[in-house]
Structure 1
Amino acid sequence: MRQAPGSNRLDKNTDRLPYHDAARFFHRIPFLHIMETLRIYVDTSVIGGCFDREFQEWSEALTDHFRRGRYLAVVSDVVTKEIEGAPDFVKKRYQELLSIPAEIIDVSEEAVSLVGHYMARGILTQRFLNDAMHIALATIAKIDMLVGWNFKHIVRLDKIRLFNTVNMAQGYKPLTIYSPREVVHHDQE
């Protein structure tokens, strides 16, 4: 006997929840919400995006998630170095992000080696070394997700696939890469 959509009663023939209702049932069990906070690597474009009309809404919303403890912001020496050349208001926003608090990753020999593999594969050129370093640092640190607005070198399906091909060939897990809009939009659904 099938239950009407929206019903949380067990199917009498199987003693199981109907598949379409299982998610709603488990959503109501408080202990299932206990999980580690996602560590999200924030590339420099997200911080600057707080001041760009096209990206402001989503960059600010993501920053708000960090403030509320929904996610943990992760940055690196590379982000810090890139911010040094930014306007003062961007530097101030970066300092605010660090005070939330945020995790900071140092550049390592392992990351430099992984970047070398990206370059050897021709994914990016030396000119975009920092972009490759963001990917390598996030990969090595086992970050849950990297977010950015760099659609030319980072948040681009063909590049993501190439980076992850190298990552897996070198024994690392694939890195999930999204724009802040995808992360915040998904979270609001």
Structure 2
Amino acid sequence: MNDSDPNPPAFRLRVYLDTSVVSALHDARTPERLAQTIAFWARLPALDACTSALTLDEIADTPDASRRRDMERSAAEVRQFEVDTAMRGLAERYIRAQIFATTQRADALHVAAATLGRADVLVSWNFRHLVNRRRRALVNALNVSIGASSIDIISPPELQ
């Protein structure tokens, strides 16, 4: 592309969805969260939405077969990529740095997958382990120290 192109490609924010977002799309127990997730999902066509094989693995563990099928159909609407060795290695670095506990390995792997998958934003409903200022600061401090990109970790309604 040259600078004089009258129709440059539009920027699309790359957004990584963790399992909690796909799950919330099919969980009527919290009507406000469901409504916010549906509104977020409606904005996906304007985004470069992605998720990883980890999300698909976690969905596969959903005991309710009907809900699992609904979640699988929703996850199929976004680009999916495999979790690679570098992502697993970064997740282990987060754990060694005590950013995540060993019991939070999947959370660490979601962040690593989003980071190395070049997401601008990781979207989650997991406030305890992911969507909080302290965790975001620790993740980004480590990422910057190793030359990886920083990542914003937010809830669906925060993405306007």
- Give the TM-score normalised by structure 2: 0.86
Q: Please state if 1:103 is matched with 2:79.
A: yes
User: 2-side partners of 1:139 and 1:130: how far apart?
Assistant: 14
62 and 113 in structure 1: CA distance in 2 versus 1, 3 angstrom threshold: same
Partner amino acid, structure 2, of 1:41: Y
Partner amino acid, structure 2, of 1:38: L
Please list every run of 5 or more consecutive structure 2 residues that lacks an aligned counterpart in the other structure: 1-5
Matches within 5 A, 1:84-163: 84-86=60-62, 87-100=64-77, 102-163=78-139
Q: Does the Cα contact within 8 Å between 1:42 and 1:146 map onto a contact in 2?
A: yes
User: 1-side partners of 2:66 and 2:37: how far apart?
Assistant: 15
Q: 1:46 aligns with which of 7, 13, 21?
A: 21
Q: Please state if 1:83 is matched with 2:59.
A: yes
- Give the TM-score normalised by structure 1: 0.74
Q: 2:12 aligns with which of 37, 60, 63?
A: 37
The offset of 1:112, in angstroms, is 1.2
Partner amino acid, structure 1, of 2:120: D
Q: Does the Cα contact within 8 Å between 1:148 and 1:178 map onto a contact in 2?
A: yes
Runs of at least 4 residues off by over 3 Å:
none
The offset of 1:168, in angstroms, is 0.8
**Deviates most, 87-96 or 121-130:** 87-96
User: 1-side partners of 2:7 and 2:141: how far apart?
Assistant: 36
Please list every run of 5 or more consecutive structure 1 residues that lacks an aligned counterpart in the other structure: 1-29
Q: Deviations over 1:41-91 (max 9, x none)?
A: 11111111121414101111111112xx11132111110111012123432
Q: Does the Cα contact within 8 Å between 2:56 and 2:75 map onto a contact in 1?
A: no
Q: Does the Cα contact within 8 Å between 2:54 and 2:83 map onto a contact in 1?
A: yes
Q: 2:34 aligns with which of 31, 37, 56?
A: 56
Aligned residues between the structures: 151
Max radius of gyration: which structure?
1
Partner amino acid, structure 2, of 1:104: Q
| Coordinate RMSD, CA, aligned | 1.8
Partner amino acid, structure 2, of 1:83: I
Partner amino acid, structure 1, of 2:51: V
